[in-house]
Structure 1
Amino acid sequence: MNTSLDPRSATGVRVPTHWYNVIADLAGYVPQDRKPAQQLGKRGLRPQLPLSIYRQSVSDRPYIEIPTEIRAEYERWRPTPLVRARRLERLLGTPAKIYYKYEGASPSGSHKLNSAIPQAYYYKKAGVRELVTGTGAGQWGTALAMATHAYDLECTVYMVRCSYEQKPQRRTLMELNGARVLPSPSVTTEAGRSLLADDPDCAGSLSVASSEAHEYANEGDGVRYSAGSGDNHVLLHQTVIGQEALAQLAALGEHPDTVVAALGAGSNFAGLAMPFYKDSLETGRRTRLVAVEPKSCPKLTRGVYTWDHHDALGNTPMSKMYTLGHTFIPSPIHAGGLRYHGAAPAISWMYHEGIVDAVAYGQNEVFEAGVTFARAEQVIPAPESAHAIRHVIDRAVRARETGTAETILFNLSGHGLMDLGSYEKYLGGLLEDDSAAEAEVEQALGKLHRAAIA
């Protein structure tokens, strides 16, 4: 059987009392935005963040206290388990030790609730009555639906159309928690209607869903937009993951050589990796921080480090990030949470400075790794997490071949029980490959370079 550390045992591991703010330790990085190129609607683009969250996003304090009410909510499922993947180690015949932090233990089935709860809490205190958002695979939308329901807020979710069709159960779960869920692009906004006029079969993207959500929030009274991934305050909220993992590993007398997590815009990667970056600064222990992305949307490994918008129509302020361009719509892969055109500005800066590493994989090799893990560990990973597993397996095999002992930690950021249709396609040999993605990425990069020259 697997051996796992009971997070509520005598080890003393508890829910963190503070979030870790990596911005405080990034010498030379200054959070900043440029104004949007155009204004949104008759009102112009109005601020979406309540002052409490805005202060978190620009703070230079290394730690920000978690309110007692939020910690009480976290304690319903946190700390999440830290598990030694012994069966996978035996299957691979590797001397490497493999651990994973299992965020699928949350009520929403993923790490996203770590930020949805504090956002609903702060927006409620600010007098907001409804939150609107865009979601890729639906994990963020599910978490926000649960959080808003808990705080008696209304919730509207624009769900990327290809995921809306691929994952109907995720949509049902959001609706079960009182959310209104719309496929994006939709006919309910000018942004959606304009995109559908150009391409009636548009698969959508998270940047498109964000454009629609921003438009909806901008025109409604008492409505605000809620972000689920790349913003500084979201990265901040997720650091409970890595802080717990540090304490749990220390209780076992362990420390990872390599920390691995998938990257869409950056919330689950930052949540696990950033506290280990802090640890390396304080102790001098070298820990590799590896972000894993899909070949169909390789913003770090192939993108351009430049100023870009966060939404498809260019209505939001620009940030400096690794990007494939805000108009880029990736192939409709089944890891919908990774189909975002840009990486979080803070993570982009860290990658640019060589603090963070990145690799990319194709869809079928990712699902192969997901199946291998599921059969060995009897836990079905979300396709997003299977990207991290792919790299973990590759590192473990390399350790076997070189005879190198390595301790690897990865974030299993969500379970795959809502993704069985995708696994069914893979097992039946029907899962789409990434053959068209290369041309799409090249076209996007060419467009970015031409814009830079202009």
Structure 2
Amino acid sequence: MNQNVQQAAAPGLGIEVSSKVPMHWYNLNADFPEPMPPALDPATDEPVRPADLEPLFAKSLIAQEFSSERYIEIPQPVREVYSLWRPSPLRRAVRLERALGTGARIYYKYEGVSPCGSHKPNSSVPQAYFNKIEGIERLTTETGAGQWGASLAFACALFGMGSETWQVRSSYEQKPYRRLQMGVYGSQCHPSPSELTESGRRLRGQFPDTTGSLGMAISEAVEVAAKDPRTHYALGSVLNHVMIHQSVIGLELLDQLEEAGEEQADVVFACAGGGSNAAGMMFPLLGQNLRGGSTTRLVAVEPAACPSMTEGEYRYDFGDVAGMTPKLMMYTLGADFVPPAIHAGGLRYHGMSPMVSHAVHLGLIDPIAVDQERSFEAGVAFARTEGIIPAPESTHAIAGALDHVTSGAARPGEVVVIGVSGSGVLDLAAYDGRF
């Protein structure tokens, strides 16, 4: 390893960071009108304590998980890495507006400019950093579409750590470039369920032809981390600290709308699988709604093939198939639910983030479901007008917004914002036969 690479792996480089890169994360737990139900210990059904999570997570991340502070300071080394792509752009979709013949003003916040091509590094970078400074050498994780696995591999490479990823088998086979991306960053990637873990072998025995699920992959990654004191587990969605990290998206959006001369967004659309992208786009705006500063409507768009919020139950459930995680109060289709092998692999989770679920349960966020064929139609329309090929997950948000505009529901002059969570350039096979 040469000197430059060694320096890049150090926790901080003293890089001057633009003032437009957020200095704090936002925590919606400070503004919820009712407190969230706690996570439960699966053995006792008592509320999980911070100490219960220490075998898997860094202490700083655990503190964020239980925090009720409105703003949490972003460490300078994390802001230095963020500055590689943040702030991400907010663009006016003028060509799309013209093609639709709408009087609404459509904007999109584009997270595909990150080195990994998605919003996921917003959380992978701080998770790697906080584990690094506590002396952890390796992180394990699961991934659906591969965006999170690649993002964690990227972050671990920058902080001189190892990483190992279990990718949902259907996505592993459909999306070879994601696992190649992980390999370039130095991460091992395995199809899940695998023969490498007890839970994986058991699942393969029970379901020999399974396409896999995020719940299965989580079980494998958690099992490996729990057995090695030098290894921790990193989660790309669902948990509170991930929602907090992703808030940089919405915090930037608020500033950018003001710079564009807009008083507020009237309606925001974001795709939702485990909840990280939707939370990032929406929570800072929801906080303003709750504090009386705005009246933005927030719409979380999930796939009709995995409709946890629109067809699931709001109850306690495990976050994984093997029952190794705490029980979470969330909208769920059941931990053993295995969705179809849809190309929007990042939206194939059986449950929804407890924070997003709580907001939906309180009527603060509106969930809708979109069929995948419709979502790809919208993605192609977006690409042919704005030039960006969106990630399959992002096409759901685009479809929700386009349906809103073309149905006549949008008023002239209404400000519509779409969260485009990532680039689809590595997922072009998903578009094959759809144009």
With the length of structure 2 as denominator, give the TM-score of the two structures. 0.92
Separation of aligned partners in 1, 2:233 and 2:326: 14
Q: Which residue of 2 aligns with 1:360?
A: 369
Q: 2:203 aligns with which of 191, 195, 206?
A: 195
- Which letter maps to 2:65? S
- Which letter maps to 2:36? V
Separation of aligned partners in 2, 1:316 and 1:381: 32
- State yes or no: 1:320 paired with 2:326: no
Q: Is the 8 A contact 2:270 2:277 kept in 1?
A: yes
Q: 2:30 aligns with which of 24, 28, 49?
A: 24
Q: Is the 8 A contact 1:308 1:325 kept in 2?
A: yes
How far off is 1:403 after superposition? 5.5
Root-mean-square deviation (Å):
1.7
Q: Which residue of 2 aligns with 1:276?
A: 285
Separation of aligned partners in 1, 2:425 and 2:387: 12
Q: Is the 8 A contact 2:36 2:358 kept in 1?
A: no
The 5 Å alignment of 1:381-420 reads 381-399=390-408, 404-420=412-428
Q: Which residue of 2 aligns with 1:289?
A: 298
Q: Is the 8 A contact 2:42 2:326 kept in 1?
A: yes
Q: Which residue of 1 aligns with 2:176?
A: 168
Q: Is the 8 A contact 1:45 1:218 kept in 2?
A: no
Q: Which residue of 1 aligns with 2:47?
A: none
Q: Is the 8 A contact 1:31 1:58 kept in 2?
A: no
Q: 1:114 aligns with which of 122, 145, 152?
A: 122
Describe the superposition over 1:156-183 as per-residue Cα deviations: whole angstroms up to 9, x where unpaired. Answer: 0000000000000111000010000000
Distance of aligned partners of 1:51 and 1:13 in 2 relative to their CA distance in 1, 3 Å threshold: closer
Seq. identity, %: 49
Distance of aligned partners of 1:123 and 1:31 in 2 relative to their CA distance in 1, 3 Å threshold: farther
Separation of aligned partners in 2, 1:374 and 1:184: 32
Q: Which residue of 1 aligns with 2:275?
A: 266
Q: Which residue of 2 aligns with 1:442?
A: none
The 5 Å alignment of 1:212-361 reads 212-254=220-262, 255-361=264-370
- Which letter maps to 1:61? E
- Which letter maps to 2:268? V
Describe the superposition over 1:100-132 as per-residue Cα deviations: whole angstroms up to 9, x where unpaired. Answer: 111000001000000000000000111111100
Distance of aligned partners of 1:259 and 1:218 in 2 relative to their CA distance in 1, 3 Å threshold: same
Describe the superposition over 1:283-341 as per-residue Cα deviations: whole angstroms up to 9, x where unpaired. Answer: 44211110000011100001000000101111111011000001111000000000000
Which consecutive unaligned segments of at least 5 residues does structure 2 have? 1-17, 45-51
Separation of aligned partners in 2, 1:198 and 1:64: 44
Separation of aligned partners in 2, 1:225 and 1:323: 22
**What secondary structure does 1:29 align onto?**
coil
Q: Which residue of 2 aligns with 1:143?
A: 151
Separation of aligned partners in 2, 1:245 and 1:65: 18
How far off is 1:398 after superposition? 2.4
How far off is 1:46 after superposition? 6.4
- Which letter maps to 1:389? I
Q: Is the 8 A contact 1:81 1:101 kept in 2?
A: yes
The 5 Å alignment of 1:39-188 reads 47-188=55-196
How far off is 1:425 after superposition? 3.4
Q: Is the 8 A contact 1:307 1:321 kept in 2?
A: yes
Separation of aligned partners in 2, 1:165 and 1:282: 46
Q: Is the 8 A contact 1:46 1:218 kept in 2?
A: no
Q: Is the 8 A contact 1:50 1:123 kept in 2?
A: yes
- Which letter maps to 2:277? N
What is the number of residues matched between the two proteins?
411
Q: Which stretch of the first structure deviates more once superposed, 347-356 or 195-204?
A: 195-204
Q: Which residue of 1 aligns with 2:10?
A: none
Q: 2:41 aligns with which of 35, 40, 65?
A: 35
Describe the superposition over 1:34-92 as per-residue Cα deviations: whole angstroms up to 9, x where unpaired. Answer: 11249xxxxx9963111111111111110001111111111111101111111110000
- Which letter maps to 1:28? E
